[in-house]
Amino acid sequence: MATAWLQRIMDGAVLRRLSTEPILVPVPGDAKEVGGVLNPGVVREKDGLLMLYRAVDAEGQSRLRAAVSDDGFCWERTGITFPADRWPGTVAAPWQLEDPRLTRMDSGGGHPEVVMACTEFDGGTAHIGLYSCAPPFFLRLGHVPTLEWDKDGALFPARRRGRYMLLRRPHPNVVLAMAPSLTGAWEDEGVVLAPRAEDPDAWDCAWVGAGAPPIRTPEGWFLLYHGVDRTRTYRLGGALLALDDPLQVLWRSPGDRPLLEPELPWERDGVVGNVVFSCAALPMPDGRLWCWYGGADRVIGVAAA
Ligand code: BMA
């Protein structure tokens, strides 16, 4: 039987907000997140859900903070901030960590249980860092070396013929890279998704990037992705990639029907207006696909299909 939430999405269902209010907003007076809480990654743990969200301080520095939840809706901060202050061992300005995407790896293979791919921004260029992630412990495994501005790293939970698969985003495309180890040399395999440049009215005509790490279903890998249009509005859509060859796109949200777009005041106005940006989607016990997302780079909301 087809995966129900996937079938609904391919039949035209969109993401519906579970609340018209954000589910996480900056704690008033907390200097480390006064500039916004946004773009969370979420992973299932033994006894609930773990979230790492991007916290921006008064100077605009971005770090990651942890929260936990039983139901995906009410979240409690754990008090863990990474890096706690400055980047460990450096005297210079720390890297900023942005947009954590958390992947629970298939068992076997000697890798960490949860791997985080996040953007490391050194003030000049952005690239993708990979971390073993078991808060409060984070171990940097390596990064994806590139001379380009690179973002939106999303690791698949499984390997293909022994090689890890990672989505990255050399502007403006989502590209598949593979490597024999998480610390190893990544090689590009090809473009998975390109912007719909041929259709200037499409919601994803300017550039695209991975949203949540790919979710395995019997029908294929479901990829939630973001797309940007000519007005720099960020929306979310979906794509289905072949299980045995993720370069093959079996289905993609139509150019006139994103899954979620900025509509509410806190999605339209904030630090960067007209942005819904996701790093996390999970099938939940209610049979729906839930998606956590940043609204206008300032607060966090949740929607489901
Ligand atoms: C992207 C990332 C995101 C951000 C988005 C919209 O490039 O930096 O963290 O949410 O832009 O500003």
Query: Which domains does the chain show, CATH number per domain?
Result: 4-304 (2.115.10.20)
- Gap from CA of 47 to ligand 1 centroid (Å): 31
138 lines ligand 1 (CB under 6 A): no
Q: What is the pTM (predicted TM-score) of this model?
A: 0.96
Q: What pLDDT is attached to residue 21?
A: 98
Give tens-digit pLDDT for 188-243: 999 999 999 999 999 999 999 999 999 999 999 999 999 999 999 999 999 999 99
One DSSP character per residue, the chain reads ---HHHHHHHTT---EES-SS-SB-PPTT-TTTTTEEEEEEEEEETTEEEEEEEEE-TTS-EEEEEEEESSSSS-EEEEEEESSSSPTT-SSPPPEEEEEEEEEPPS-SS--SEEEEEEEE-SS-EEEEEEEEETTEEEEEEEE--SS-----EE-SS-BTTBEEEEE--TT-EEEEEESSTTS--EEEEEEE---TT-TTSTTSSEEEE-SPPEEETTEEEEEEEEE-TT--EEEEEEEE-SS-TTSEEEE--TT--SB---SHHHHSSSSSSBEEEEEEEE-TTSSEEEEEEETTTEEEEEE-
120 lines ligand 1 (CB under 6 A): no
Average pLDDT, the chain: 94
Report, as an integer, the average pLDDT of 161-190.
95
Atom of ligand 1 nearest to the CA of 234: 6
